[in-house]
Amino acid sequence: MKVEKLRQRLDRNRPMTSVTIHMPEDVVEDLKRVAPLLGFSGYQPLIRAYVGQCLRVDLERLESETVTALVASLKRKGVSDALIDEALGEIVRTATI
């Protein structure tokens, strides 16, 4: 994830939108019980945390699968492993700056 995008995700004052979701009552009760034990002010922030965690995992997995597919495609088209490794190294160095 790019640094600027990460900064935006960590901004506590970013715009919010309301979402309505139907959940079983027992799940909501469990969320209300667990939230303060995990340090959350209520069950809604806990739900946001759960959604955010799972979303980041899925985004990382999908981005990784895309890169893997791209590398395989480049190899099929005759691009050398050395050139692919050089390009991937360049991307990693740029992403960490």
**What does the pLDDT read at residue 34?**
97
> What are the residue ranges spanned by the domains of the chain?
42-97
**What does the pLDDT read at residue 30?**
98
Q: Is the pLDDT of residue 95 over 90?
A: no
Residues 43/28, Cβ–Cβ less than 8 Å: yes
Between 90 and 17, where is the model more confident?
17
**Which of 87, 69, 66 lies closest to 77 in space, CA to CA?**
69
**What does the pLDDT read at residue 54?**
93
Residues 14/8, Cβ–Cβ less than 8 Å: yes
**Mean model confidence pLDDT for the chain:** 87
**What does the pLDDT read at residue 51?**
95
Q: Minimum mean pLDDT among 9-18, 25-34, 52-61, 63-72: which range?
A: 9-18
**What does the pLDDT read at residue 67?**
86
